[in-house]
Amino acid sequence: DGGITQSPKYLFRKEGQNVTLSCEQNLNHDAMYWYRQDPGQGLRLIYYSQIVNDFQKGDIAEGYSVSREKKESFPLTVTSAQKNPTAFYLCASKEGRRTEAFFGQGTRLTVV
Amino acid sequence: DQQVKQNSPSLSVQEGRISILNCDYTNSMFDYFLWYKKYPAEGPTFLISISSIKDKNEDGRFTVFLNKSAKHLSLHIVPSQPGDSAVYFCAASSLYTGTASKLTFGTGTRLQVTL
């Protein structure tokens, strides 16, 4: 089955620790995205990538980093510089010039 | 600066009736609009979309209307079913941004369909 897999579904980390969220897709999509959802704020774009070895900052990139070494994978690292890391993180991918993106099931990160 | 706005945080509709969810946008460069449905602790799923060259798009029980002059779109669900209860997000993109076509989302409207 083709799709987008995010792991883990729930993640707990201590304050000050970096943590990496996994996103893998087998849809052969070129573009991949990371969004963050907070209550009452909708989905906000963190980073996106159009092709391998290239990525751009979204609207709220501070405190986050990404890599795109393979077409299938777009991991997101939440660094200790992110002031409010507790949130629901969503990865998405999109094919070529189509406008609809398809989302993974999300990772809920809780920093204690 | 919220470029896509959903001013109604919640909506309650009786089963069988019509649900109307509204969305406003401010960026004139947006030329493609989408609606997503989201259940708690899950990723959004794509519902329906519309290009700015159209004013209506229909898919089964779902119809999206676009009023470009008012920068307003709406999603109609007829008839509403209990399984439609979810949060609905409006999203917009501009094809001028290239293949990445970033989606800008609204804050969502929680729809509850009651029996």
Tens-place pLDDT, residues B75-113: 999 999 999 999 999 999 987 665 557 889 999 999 999
* DSSP structure string for B44-113: -EEEEEEETT-SEEEETTEEEEEETTTTEEEEEESS--GGG-EEEEEEEE-GGG-TT---EE---EEEEE
What phi and psi values does residue B47 have, to the nearest 5 degrees?
A: -105, -60
Which of A98, A99, A103, A110 is the best substitution to test chain B (most B C-beta atoms within 10 A)?
A99
Residue B56, Cα to own-chain centre: how many angstroms?
A: 13
**What pLDDT does A57 receive?**
94
Please compute the mean of the pLDDT values over residues A53-77 and round it to a whole number. 96
- How many cross-chain Cβ pairs, A to B, lie less than 8 Å apart? 72
Q: Do B105 and A100 touch (CB under 8 A)?
A: no
A102 CB neighbours in chain B (<8 A) are 46
**Closest chain B C-alpha to A45 CA, distance in angstroms:** 8
**What pLDDT does A48 receive?**
94
**What pLDDT does A40 receive?**
77
**What pLDDT does B17 receive?**
98
CA–CA dist B28, B3 (Å, integer) = 10
The DSSP output letter for B108 is: -
Please compute the mean of the pLDDT values over residues B10-19 and round it to a whole number. 98
On the question of pLDDT at A100 being above 90, the answer is no
B93 CB neighbours in chain A (<8 A) are 99
Q: Do B46 and A31 touch (CB under 8 A)?
A: no
Q: What is the pLDDT of residues A23-56, one digit of tens each?
A: 999 999 999 999 999 987 889 999 999 899 999 9
What's the mean pLDDT when you consider all of chain B?
93
**What pLDDT does B37 receive?**
97
**What pLDDT does B69 receive?**
96
**Alpha-carbon distance values, A5 to A103, A107, A108, B65, B108 (Å):** 9, 10, 14, 33, 24
